A and B are shown apart, each in its own frame.
Chain A
Amino acid sequence: MAASATATISLCSSFATHCKISQNLQTLATHFSFPSLSSSSSHKLSSCSLRRPTFPLLIKSSESDSAVVVEAEFQAPEPEAGPDDSEPAALQVVETPSSEAPKREQLFGVVMIGGRQYIVIPGRFIYTQRLKGANVNDKIVLNKVLLVGTKTSTYIGKPVVTNAAVHAVVEEQGLNDKVVVFKYKKKKNYRRNIGHRQPNTRIRITAITGYQDYPAVTLES
């Protein structure tokens, strides 16, 4: 499983500023743009057949939330399984183009990192605030899991799903895009031009574990 070179860091205890669970969550500082504004109308509030979680798997996004712009990949395999049964075997190769990826379990979680909450799916990456003390290819365990959703049930944490953990690997410690901070006062000859790049960390989510024993809300249908 783990090469000898990797180390497991339990992060929650080391980031002291946001470990305590308090009622005043200030998560307004978000760095991502919101492309899903344009496609929000196309997404489903009514088409909730047995389709659970609907976040697409294939698209790698800069922030995991904004990935929901594209149509769900999970929709694709199901309708094509129908006509396969009646086709002769020679045509079956053509009929199943999208079941090529191994079906990973469809689950998502909401995890809190650096004071901000992210919706995470195993296999994707997210950009978070710079995690000090984490080197590249370190394994990381995130303990503040606020909600876990699987295909049939939801585990809602109050405030945290106990014993749930999100395992991730640090991919890269980089910088955000440059933001030009330009301050100007008119008629007073005051101009300040400063560039700013906020440090960030890209982590790839590998697994969400430990939620099974928590009381869940299960879908009846």
Chain B
Amino acid sequence: MNKGKIFKLAKGFRGRAKNCIRIARERVEKALQYSYRDRRTKKRDMRSLWIQRINAGTRIHGVNYGNFMHGLMKENIQLNRKVLSELSMHEPHSFKSLVDISRSAFPGNKNVVPAPQKKGLQILV
């Protein structure tokens, strides 16, 4: 690509990499390689984030992520993790009903103790 396109892609780069073609060309090529690689890792990262969110949402109700997903698979509920994480954030009642369904399908959580409540600064008041 010609210099104009390189400089357009090099906006916001640090130091001479946004101004001088020899350095900008290298940095832009590296940036494009990273974006190629990261389009693939973004999918992995997103899934990991969704799983963390679902885990947090289910532990409020005393179920951990593994048992929750096992219960959903047993009930043949095919919501994916993206939607489940959105429900856990914004639709707490629907999510609670899902947790209840999962718990009744796979009651594996008899010994889960909820994490101890961390005391905030209110105790000092």
Contacts and interface: CB of A to CB of B under 8 A. Distances in A.
Given A52-B91, A149-B91, A154-B97, A21 B78 contact: yes
Interface string A1-41: 00000000000000000000101010111100010110010
B21 interface: no
A93 interface: no
Interface in A174-221: 179-184, 191, 193, 217, 219
B53 A34 contact: no
Interface string A46-82: 0010001111000000000100100000000000000
Interface string B8-24: 00000000000000000
Contacts of B88: 45
Contact of A158 (B29, B75, B92, B93): B75
Given A182-B32, A184-B33, A193 B80 contact: no
A21 B78 CA distance: 9
Interface stretch (B35-43, B106-114, B115-123): B35-43
Size range of the chain B interface in the assembly: 35 or more
B78 A159 contact: yes
Interface in B92-109: 92-94, 97-98, 100-101
B89 A156 contact: no
A117 B36 contact: no
Contacts of B71: none
Contacts of A219: 93
A181 B77 contact: no
A193 B93 contact: no
A165 interface: no
A156 B93 contact: no
12 contacts: A30-B43, A40-B53, A45-B57, A52-B93, A65-B82, A146-B79, A147-B87, A149-B94, A154-B91, A156-B77, A159-B76, A181-B36
Interface of B: 1, 29, 32-33, 35-36, 39, 43-44, 46-47, 49, 53, 57, 60, 73, 75-80, 82-83, 86-94, 97-98, 100-101
